[in-house]
Each structure stands twice: as structure tokens, then as C-alpha cells.
Amino acid sequence: MRVVKAMSLLRGVNTDHCTKAKKYADVMEGKMIDATRQLLGEEQILDKSWEEIETVFDDAWERMVEELGGKAVWDKLSKNEQALKHAAMTKRP
């Protein structure tokens, strides 16, 4: 089983109501929500044709570069910064 799938199946954490346990439960709930969203997004993408997928990613890419300030700003980013921006773009709703 993929880790993302396992995370999406988490439904609650039994705690003794101590602060540490509550914090852990909150963190795990956030991870469960992220994993569920990722799986739903993957399912939605897999139902699309290659042309539809390409259009979605091209539109998202253009929006990301525009929000950063344009191609000139994008080109000034380091490869690591570009990779981070690209990864963040793929996780956007």
C-alpha cells in the first residue's frame, strides 16, 4: 500500500487529551486531508486524456509564472527555487 493511501485512511487518533497528543492528532489530521486530496486529484487526472492533462498543466504553469512576475523573474530563480515553485503549483487546487 502506498504511504499516501495509508495516510488518507487515518480517521482519528486515540489520545489521553494531553497537549502533545492533541498536537500530534492535529498534525496527522492535516496529513490525512492532504493525502486524500492528492488521491482524489490523481483519480481526476487519470480520467482525462493526455491533451486535457497537457492543457491543465500549461494553464497552471502560465498562471504560476505570471503570479511570480513574469518569465524574466522566473528565469532569475535558482533551479531549486524553480523546482519548489513547480512542486507547489502541482499541489494547488
Q: What is the pLDDT of residues 7-45, one digit of tens each?
A: 666 665 555 567 777 777 777 778 888 888 888 878 888
Residue pair 50/16 in contact (Cβ under 8 Å)? The answer is no
Give this prediction's pTM: 0.53
Find the distance separating the first CA and the last CA of the chain, reported in whole Å. Answer: 25
Q: What is the mean pLDDT of residues 45-59?
A: 88
* Per-chain mean pLDDT for the chain: 81
* Whole-number pLDDT of residue 17: 64
Q: What is the mean pLDDT of residues 50-71?
A: 91
